[in-house]
Amino acid sequence: MNRSNGLYFVIGALLVVVVGLGAYIYREESKPEGVELSIGQNGVSVEQK
């Protein structure tokens, strides 16, 4: 019984890693490309993405 619980734990951990990595990659790929304009206390900042 203990061996199968360990197997379920490993499979669950791998599933969490795969889902987390997929969410991270999706978020990085869906970032808009172009120019980012920020206005703050230090003035105007322009950053090309």
d(CA 30, CA 28): 6
> Pick from 46, 21, 45, 43: which is nearest to 35 by CA?
46
Look at the chain and count its residues.
49
Q: In terms of pLDDT, which residue wins out, 47 or 15?
A: 15
Radius of gyration (Cα) for the chain, nearest Å?
21
Share of the chain above pLDDT 70, in %: 96
Q: What is the pLDDT of residue 31?
A: 78
> Pick from 49, 47, 19: which is nearest to 31 by CA?
49
The pair of structure tokens assigned to 14 is: 């791998």
Q: What is the pLDDT of residue 19?
A: 97
The pair of structure tokens assigned to 42 is: 């230090």
